[in-house]
Amino acid sequence: MILHDFLPSGNGYKIRLMCACLGLKITLKEYDITQGETHTPSFLAMNPNGKIPVLELDDGQCLSESNAVLLYLAEQYKSALLPTDPILRAKVYKWLFWEQYSHEPNIASPRFWLTHNAMTELKERMLPDRIQQGHAALKQMDTTLATHAFLVGDSITLADICLFPYTHVAEEGGAYQLSEYPNILRWIRDIEALDWFIPITQA
C-alpha cells in the first residue's frame, strides 16, 4: 500500500499510527501541500478533493478521508480497535464524527495557520472563536479521560487513534497549553508508551 501524505499532517498520521498498530508496511509518498502539489491532474485523479491523505491499495483503488480509511483498515484486518459490541462501536463512531466537527476545525486549523504562514485577515477574525471552541473540545476530552484510561473505556480504540494526532501537537502555534488538561497529558504518555507507537515525524 502507498500512503500519499504530508508528514506534519495529523490526518495522515492517523493512518500511519493505525498501520503501525496493525503491523502493516506502507510506502510513503510525500506532497508539499503548501506548494499546491495535491492539485495536479495525477493527484486529483486519486482524490478529486485535492487533499491528503490518500491510501492507495495494492489493487490501485484509492481511499480518502482519514477516518473512513481508519474504519476500512479496522474492518479489513478485523482489528480490536473497532469493538464488536454495538454500544462500544457506536461510542467509537461518536468520537470519529465529533473529531471532524468539534475538534479538527478548532485544533488542527489554528495550528496550520500559525505554523505555515497561512494566516489571512479572515482567519485572524476567526481565530479567537476557533480557540474558544478548541478549549471546549479539549475540556470534553479531559473530562472523559478523568474516569477512563482511553476515550472508550479501558482499551485503546479507533477513537484514540483518531484524536491523538492533532491533540498531542495542539500546542504548536501557541494557541493551547496542554498543561491545563492533565488527563489528556496522561493519555498522551500512555499512547506514546505503547510498543508499536511511532512519532508524527516517522513514516
pTM for this structure? 0.93
Superfamily for 2-76? Glutaredoxin (3.40.30.10)
**Cell 470534553 -> residue:** 140
CATH topology of domain 86-192: Glutathione S-transferase Yfyf (Class Pi); Chain A, domain 2 (1.20.1050)
CA–CA separation, 105 vs 113, rounded Å?
A: 11
> Domain segments of the chain: what residues?
2-76, 86-192
Q: pLDDT tens across 117-164, in order? A: 777 888 889 889 999 999 999 999 999 999 999 999 999 999 999 999
- Residue 126 has, within 13 A of its CA and on its CB side, a CA count of 15
